Amino acid sequence: MLQEQKSEFTKQTILNESFKLFYKNGFKTTSVDTIMKTTKLTKGAFYHHYKNKKELGLAVISSKLQERVFKGMIEPLQQTGNVVDILENTFSERLKSFSLHEKKHGCPTNNFINEIGDFETAYQMALKQIIDRWRDALIQLLERGKAEGSIKKTTSSEAVAVYLISAFEGVRGIRKLYDTDVILDQYIAGLSIYLEQIKN
């Protein structure tokens, strides 16, 4: 294989395995040794491609997490159609689509936020960018709804966006404590009540 391709492949392998392990066991509590054991490479390879564990953490946030939130929660907002339907579908369908693994371990982005969002500025900023983009996409959609007349003009798009994101991330944490989906169903019912209020 070409050197450049090989190098890129290794870097991506480390990134992908890191993401999985961080998701399953936490960032701080996953060691570089553990990561490299799963990639079947050695520490030498790791420190050749990444300066240190912090750099890897930032890479996971700004590529893997960013992409996950974008594909799962932002892109679906950009469809055409009734704004309230899009909101209801995006939030509830996403929840329903999760695997057992994803239900058990919560939202990887939210896990990072809660684990290291108060730890170092670099992590904080990288994570903030994800939430800001998500919030902005929601605001944009809500504004479209207002313009089209499907959303009450008096509602604050910022407030609704923040409340929607908060509740979604919150329930993904709380679901960790339960073995059933009852809590998710109640969340979805609670979401409907909310959307009813902003509907025109």
Partner DNA sequence: TAAAAAACATACCTACTAGTATTTTTTATA
Partner DNA sequence: TATAAAAAATACTAGTAGGTATGTTTTTTA
**12 binding DNA? (CB under 7 A):** no
Contacting residues for 129 by C-beta, under 8 A, at least 6 apart: 62, 66
Q: Tell me the Cα Rg of the chain.
A: 19
CB of 194 to its own copies, least distance (A): 5
Grouping H, G, I as helix, E, B as strand and the rest as coil, residue 120 is coil
CB nearer DNA, residue 47 or residue 163? 47
State the residue for tokens 């939202």.
107
- Running DSSP on this structure, what letter comes out for residue 150? S
**32 binding DNA? (CB under 7 A):** yes
Contact assessment for residue 15 and residue 64, using Cβ atoms and an 8 Å cutoff:
yes
Contact assessment for residue 106 and residue 173, using Cβ atoms and an 8 Å cutoff:
yes
**58 binding DNA? (CB under 7 A):** no
CA distances from 183 to 5, 34, 54, 88, 172 (A): 45, 34, 35, 17, 10
Q: Considering CB distances under 5 to 8 angstroms, the limit depending on partner class, which of DNA, its own copies, none binds residue 42?
A: DNA
**49 binding DNA? (CB under 7 A):** yes
CB of 48 to DNA, least distance (A): 4
Residue from 6, 28, 54, 96 binding its own copies (CB under 8 A): 28
Q: How long, in residues, is the chain?
A: 200
The rounded distance, in Å, linking the Cα atoms of 98 and 95 is 6
Q: Considering CB distances under 5 to 8 angstroms, the limit depending on partner class, which of DNA, its own copies, none binds residue 194?
A: its own copies
Number of chain positions touching DNA (CB under 7 A)? 23
Residue from 42, 78, 114, 186 binding DNA (CB under 7 A): 42
Interface contacts to its own copies, rule CB under 8 A: 26, 28-29, 104-106, 110-111, 113-115, 117-118, 124, 127-128, 131, 155-156, 158-171, 173-174, 176-178, 183, 186-187, 189-194, 196-198
Interface contacts to DNA, rule CB under 7 A: 1-4, 6-7, 10, 30-34, 41-45, 47-49, 52-54
